[in-house]
Amino acid sequence: MGKAFAERNGVIIGSPLYLSTSTSDGLSLRVTGIFTSGSSEDYAVVTSLSIVQQYIGKSGEYRKLYVSALTKPEDDFARRDPKTMNAGEFERWSCSPYVSSIAYSIKQVLPGPTFAVVRRVAEGEGQILTRRSHAAVAGHGSGAACGGARCGSVFAASVIERRTEIGL
């Protein structure tokens, strides 16, 4: 569960959590972890889709599942077919935040009739991250150039100040 929810309700890891509504018999859960996301999930109880479906009385049914993840722009390695990878490559690929590896992992857990990645959104996020890293490199480069110019001007001023001594 989210940290804000846990703090507000005095819940710690290992605590029992009982959920009920007027239309359900209730559901008993145990808190296995407390996380901070920095967004609205901090005020929520998070559990698996199957538990939520059991809770609302619709076990085994799901229609759409949207997943938002911070991903890494895809390169040649990300586009490879996981069936052609050896064990080491597959582990590296599956542990990398590529859209294709996340989609593959979800499909293994939720084998449904249709599955689609919204590539335009994923590619847009990747481009934003790439541009941001380029801007950071440019900022550091300009800072280094300014520092070099400053050092050069200090040395030049020192030489000009002592030019008569240097001339002797």
Q: What is the DSSP string of 57-112?
A: T-TT-----------PPP-TTTTS-GGGS-HHHHHHHHTS--HHHHHHHHHHHS--
Q: Tell me the mean pLDDT in the region 46-63.
A: 76
In angstroms, the CA 160 to CA 153 distance is: 10
- Nearest-10 Cα torsion for 46, 51, 57, 60: 120
Higher pLDDT, 130 or 4: 4
Give the residue among 49, 10, 50, 17 at the shortest CA–CA distance from 31. 17
For residue range 131-148, list pLDDT tens digits in order. 777 888 888 989 999 999
> What pLDDT was estimated at residue 24?
58
Q: Which amino acid is at 60?
A: G
73-123 tens-digit pLDDT? 778 888 888 889 999 999 999 888 888 888 888 888 776 656 666 655 656
- Residue 112 has a pLDDT of 64
Which tokens sit at 81? 């077919």
As given in the structure block, the two tokens for residue 96 are: 């990398």
Q: What is the mean pLDDT of the chain?
A: 81
Q: What is the pLDDT of residue 86?
A: 93
